[in-house]
Amino acid sequence: MSVFVEVDHVGRIFPLPNGGSYIALSNIELKIKQGEFVSLIGHSGCGKSTLLNIVAGLDKPTYGGVILEGRQVTQPGPDRMVVFQNYSLLPWLSVRENIALGVDEVMANRPASERKEIIEHHIDLVGLRHAAKKRPSELSGGMKQRVAIARALALRPKLLLLDEPFGALDALTRGGLQEQLMKICEESKVTCIMVTHDVDEALLLSDRIVMLTNGPESHIGQILDVDIPRPRQRMEVVNHPSYYSYRNEMIYFLNQQKKAKLRQSKKQQVIARNGLEKINLEIGFIPLTDCAPLVVAKEKGFFEKHGLEEVTLNREPSWKAIAKGVATGRLDAAQMVAGMPMSLTLGAGNNTPVPMVSALTLSRNGNAITLSKRLYDQGVRTLADLKAALQATPDKVHTLGVVYPSSMQNLMLRYWLASGGIDPDRDVSLTVIPPPQMLSNLKAGNIDGYCVGEPWNSRAVNEGHGFVIANDLDIFPGHIEKVLGVREEWANKYPQTHLALVKALLEACEYCDDLRNREEIVGLLSQDQYVGALAEDIRPGFIDPYDWGTNAEPKILQRYNQFFVEQTNYPERVEILWVMTQMARWGLTSFPKNWVDIIERVRRADIFGEAARQLEFPDFGRDRDPIQLFDGTLFDPDNPIAYLNSLEIKREIRVEEIDIDPVAASFA
């Protein structure tokens, strides 16, 4: 479906009495499809109503513009109708007359009988036939708002704009009107943009929720796709398996903005010191057990020790958000899945290449493949059993969740399936799901299993919804898992800051692998601002024996979560090359003919080495040996193309020279 409304890099700057200026909105970019319901949420003062007024034509942007059906919005018009919180009814006119006022003005060229029919239809549409002759003073708040909605819809607008339309109503009236609005929008196929402070209202009504950051210079911080089927009923929405995940993401975003506002009010002008170019950093992470090094560096003071005086850890909703956050400069650095720096550099997914640098491996292992208990009850215990189960039900599509295309979870799951004769693209369906949403989708029956990091495997086992059929130590023990990623441009601009960041995290990794510290770390990770999971779900494999959810006895897994020992942290060339071959194997990218140059550009062992030497840590990596996974196949790092050609199950292999310059200014 083509774009219906386009907010094209809109900014709004207001002059101040003292001659200064206030930047309310900065670089707002949003595309809306016809029939979509989009909500804008954010704290007061973030520019929600300002943006709505610009779309309505009631205000003009300082730069950028709004396009509606291919035409620029320059002034108000009947193709965009606004419903305000305060109703804005004329008190001396009846319900019918308030609705008729706009119809008679805009549709003056139509016959009186047709205009009357339109007016009466919309009176019935909002259920006000019994009050058609009453004036606003005789109506309740909910009835007044229904008149305002009917008045707007009677003009048959292309776009309905709602500015907190139910904010002044009591909960019961608000609930009834919300359901009526949903019904009207579905029947009329009208496109809606609504400003609201109510996260539950946004979830009930919206197809997408646009979350705005604090002002000044407010911009889109996150967009949440609400994948809940329509038509919707309130209780069905509340009971949907993804409801609380969506709700928690919005509340978490708003809470983080509140904290940011508090920090901003206390913040003084920071002047870089301690020999660093930049001492205040925004670092992204995903709520997983192996985010421990970042949490420890923050909570135990390693960032401050190395001169990074103000580091904010941003819990992100997905790996896609991490990738975009770093690529666009919203984040200075991030915890990344192993293949992300390379996939961004190569421009995977038809994106413009964004050269990245990875100078530190943060963790190894920590993943498992969890399948639904239903498959266990059907006798699935091994990969061969899974293949037999798939063959026994050829008409059923079995769906498995992965976290990101270039993640080890995706690449390892694909390798595991293919080794058992299961084509991951043809015999099953793989779908990308953020880690925190895996279990809810498994419980709902949307997927039959997943490959993800902890605590989402142990939680499935503890709640009785799944069993672990294999983990990292069964498939590829000691593999690279999470890495530190920054843009190459950023690393070049802030070399001493980058070095300090690597040193702080390297010390934190050492702290994480001292088993005497693990109890304390579990307590840190359990906090809501980090993983926010129960300790009993974090502990298996981290401290306690690991439970597969089968009849097997739980046992201690050495190195299941590995952060420092056995040269964990060195950015290994061979491992990155293996990741590149797997991305090419499954058609995620071409295999670069100039792979040596690209690996050396991404893999910055020189920065790691300098950091390690300053800390008096070993500055070397592992032996440069071929990689051997559980099926016995050897990967020769000196002949990756021959290795690719030897694989039986794969997509068409493309080998070409990949030019990753010039650096992209943005990320799609």
Domain borders along the chain are 3-257, 268-668
pLDDT at residue 300 tops 60: yes
Question: Can you tell me the mean pLDDT for 552-573?
Answer: 93
Most confident of 100-109, 181-190, 557-566: 557-566
Residue that is written with structure tokens 């051997």 in the block: 628
Residue 140's alpha-carbon distances to 136, 145, 163, 401, in angstroms, are 8, 9, 19, 49
pLDDT, tens digit, for every residue of 125-140?
777 888 888 888 888 8
Residue 197's alpha-carbon distances to 40, 163, 238, in angstroms, are 8, 10, 18
Report which residue type is found at 154: A
**309 or 509: whose pLDDT is higher?**
509
pLDDT at residue 206 tops 80: yes
pLDDT at residue 169 in the model: 64
Query: Among 9-18, 490-499, 501-510, where is mean pLDDT lowest?
Result: 9-18
pLDDT at residue 231 in the model: 86
pLDDT at residue 658 in the model: 87
Largest CA distance in the chain: 89
pLDDT band at 270 (very low <50, low <70, confident <90, very high): very low
Answer yes or no: CATH 3.40.640.10 is held by domain 3-257.
no
pLDDT, tens digit, for every residue of 399-415?
999 999 999 999 999 99
pLDDT, tens digit, for every residue of 95-106?
888 888 877 787
Question: Can you tell me the mean pLDDT for 318-343?
Answer: 96
pLDDT at residue 365 tops 60: yes
Report which residue type is found at 379: G
| End-to-end Cα spacing for the chain | 18
Question: Are 471 and 368 spatial neighbours (Cβ–Cβ below 8 Å)?
Answer: yes
Question: Are 280 and 266 spatial neighbours (Cβ–Cβ below 8 Å)?
Answer: no
Q: What is the C-alpha to C-alpha distance for residues 557 and 544, in angstroms, rounded to an integer?
A: 9
Among candidate residues 479, 474, 475, the one with its CA nearest the CA of residue 552: 474
Q: What is the mean pLDDT of the chain?
A: 89
pLDDT at residue 269 tops 60: no
Q: What is the C-alpha to C-alpha distance for residues 213 and 223, in angstroms, rounded to an integer?
A: 11
pLDDT at residue 259 in the model: 74
The pTM of this model reads 0.73
| Token pair belonging to 171 | 């909960």
pLDDT band at 179 (very low <50, low <70, confident <90, very high): confident
pLDDT at residue 271 tops 60: no
Strands (DSSP E) contained in 208-328 are 208-212, 220-225, 280-285, 310-315
Q: How many CB atoms lie within 10 A of CB 240?
A: 19
pLDDT at residue 388 tops 80: yes
pLDDT, tens digit, for every residue of 496-509?
999 999 999 999 99
| Token pair belonging to 3 | 């774009």
CATH fold, domain 268-668, is D-Maltodextrin-Binding Protein; domain 2 (3.40.190)
Report which residue type is found at 543: I
pLDDT, tens digit, for every residue of 137-161?
888 877 877 787 777 777 778 888 8
Q: What is the C-alpha to C-alpha distance for residues 166 and 170, in angstroms, rounded to an integer?
A: 8
